[in-house]
A and B are shown apart, each in its own frame.
Chain A
Amino acid sequence: MNLGRLVRRQALSHPVRAFLTVGAVAVAIFLLCFLRSIVTSLDAAVTESSGRRIITASAVSLFQALPASYNEAIGAIDGVDTVSRFTWFGGVYKDPENFFAQFGTDPELLLAQYPEIVLPEEQKQAWFEDKRGAIVGIGIANKFGWEVGQTVPLKGTIYPQTGGKAWEFTIRGIYRSTRANVDEMTLYFHWPYLDESLESGDAMGPRGTSVYLIRLEDGWEGEPVAQAIDEYYAGGPQRTRTQPEAAFQADFVNMMGNLPTFLGMIGGAVLIAIFFGVVNTMTIAARERYRATGILKSLGFSNQVPLRLFLMESTMLVLGGGAIGMFLAWLSQPAMKAMFGAFIPVYHVAQDTYLAAIVTCVAVGILGGLIPGVRAARLQPVEALRRGV
């Protein structure tokens, strides 16, 4: 027998109420984890970006293609190691609802610039050698059940093929990503294949490339190189805006508006709701336990003991619900990824989200038990016994 056992028994003395409280907290914590994970997953692309890469886009708009001729000139600027072209394709796989990102790129350069894209050597070689080949992330391959060797038809929207035909890409490799800045929900194909199709008239659309991905030489900082590129093209034909990869990713996230604030407000509301719920539960429990409080005091327990018991009970209930909520958040990651993968390709519940959830639970538990606990602590034994009758 110890006070912990008493707390456990008291908490479970009304199983339905305990179940409902734990359930409400579980749902709330799950929701908090989910909302926070959206923000952290979007941020991951920013925070895990490499300092050794910069990106050049049009100074006018991200949607304005840059001339293909910039490739060589950028490559000649001091501090630039490699440059790869990177074009947003915007194709539709069977149905617009099957949205995922596709980029035309320079395969060998891309894989050299992004060592976090990992796939077997033979698959790499097969992709390099097949102009109509593509690699896809494991996430999207699993989602659509694709395998290596399979042909994926994509209907061009920005780059429609003449005659309304679909583009066909053969999957030559399935990659995994070792960092959150690269998702596993993208298809990469040969930029030259796109460019040649446009050149030959087999397809229509803007020429050039959406952006240039630039890897810096060892010992170079991004800022002077970015400045040099932008100065080089300050007089046209099209001005550029070169940014570190992290800043570019941040701009991309900001295009969604102030999502973190919006989600934060929802999360805050959820938090307040569970706090009130827990306070309500504990206040009802405290009223039912006037007599138990009086008994404990009459037995010689100090005023601090009822306070401690309420804090323990409240924290136990909230942590119990929180643990279930966190478990559900962990369990639902693949489902969430499948559901929202097109918009949040690297959705995952980060460790600090679990930590934040635990801190939240402890804080709500303590605050929830504090009000009834302090009241119980202040109650005179005689008054407690009288009220409990």
Chain B
Amino acid sequence: MSDPVIQLDGVTKAYRKGGQELVVLDDLDMEVATGEFLALMGPSGSGKSTILNLIGGLDEPDDGDVIVAGELVSALSGEALSTWRARHIGYVFQAFNLIPVLTALENVELPLLLTPLSKSARREQARYALEIVGLSDRLDHRPKQLSGGQEQRVAIARAVAMDPTILLCDEPTGDLDRDSADQVLDLLARLAAEHQKTIVMVTHDQKAADDASRILHLDKGVVQRVGR
């Protein structure tokens, strides 16, 4: 394996629910290499999404280190964490999470506001990202005017528009029909292969996971099995 771009060392994470402590991740070690397409599988509550949140700095571990793109993520906070996230992380959510009042182009352009790019350069880059996902003809459509598959492709375009180091995909095909899901998976595979993006994808769908270069099966916060 080449140098890991993501490294989880002895990570533990627990949530309190109804007075009870629920251990989601238990002393987890995990590495993801640069350019790798990793699928995380497992039953609900096995800690898959928590891993994504920890990698993206959306959540903090109770114990252990999360090192991503050379940074100890838990040591970052506030502006530094936001800036780091904008530079290194692209998110793709199951529910697409597009801003409904913005067009496809504007949604993709949104994270580019964090860059020093000019207005025209931002627009150009957003157009290019939408072209990559095959939606050049839907620039001015709002999310509700798009199909689920198209919405997810816009979300992927938004995630890659900043040219992040890592794409974190949380059930990206969970709300899609088979055809749309296949298109999205093809796209992710292409981003990994052609654009050298490191992708970590949470999925329940074995067919989706089959497109990944490695599969980790999690249960009760520990890696049960490594696939492929």
Contacts and interface: CB of A to CB of B under 8 A. Distances in A.
Contacts of B86: 299-301
A297 B97 contact: no
Contact of B91 (A13, A299, A302, A380): A299
B95 interface: yes
A6 interface: yes
Contacts of A166: none
Q: Which of A9, A291, A299, A301 has the most chain B CB atoms closer than 10 A to its own CB?
A: A299
Contacts of B87: 300
A296 B85 CA distance: 11
Contact of B78 (A10, A291, A301, A302): A302
A385 interface: yes
A292 B114 CA distance: 16
B89 interface: yes
A5 B107 CA distance: 12
Nearest to A298: B91
Interface in A1-16: 1-3, 5-6, 9-10, 13
11 contacts: A1-B105, A2-B119, A5-B106, A6-B101, A10-B101, A298-B91, A299-B85, A300-B82, A303-B78, A382-B53, A382-B59
Size category of the binding interface on chain A:
20 to 34
B111 A389 contact: no
B5 interface: no
Contacts of B53: 382
Size category of the binding interface on chain B:
20 to 34
B226 to A, nearest CB: 27
B79 interface: yes
Nearest to B100: A13
A26 B24 CA distance: 52
Interface string B96-108: 0111111001100
Interface of B: 53, 56, 58-59, 78-79, 82-83, 85-87, 89, 91, 93, 95, 97-102, 105-106, 109-111, 113-114, 119, 122-123, 158, 162
A3 B113 contact: yes
A228 interface: no
Interface string A347-389: 0000000000000000000000000000000001110010001
A385 B168 CA distance: 15
A296 B98 CA distance: 10
Contacts of A296: 110
Given A2-B113, A298-B89, A301-B114, 8 more contacts: A1-B106, A1-B109, A13-B101, A298-B91, A298-B97, A302-B82, A381-B58, A382-B53
A303 B82 contact: yes
In the A-B complex, the 8 residue pairs with the closest CB atoms = A300-B86, A9-B101, A302-B82, A299-B111, A381-B58, A1-B109, A300-B85, A1-B106
B199 to A, nearest CB: 16
A295 interface: yes
Nearest to B86: A300
Nearest to B84: A300
Nearest to A389: B95
A205 B58 CA distance: 89
A384 to B, nearest CB: 9
A9 B101 CA distance: 6
A300 B58 contact: no
B99 A382 contact: no
B19 to A, nearest CB: 19
A312 to B, nearest CB: 14
A310 to B, nearest CB: 15
Nearest to B53: A382
Given A1-B122, A1-B123, A5-B106, A295 B99 contact: yes
A385 to B, nearest CB: 7
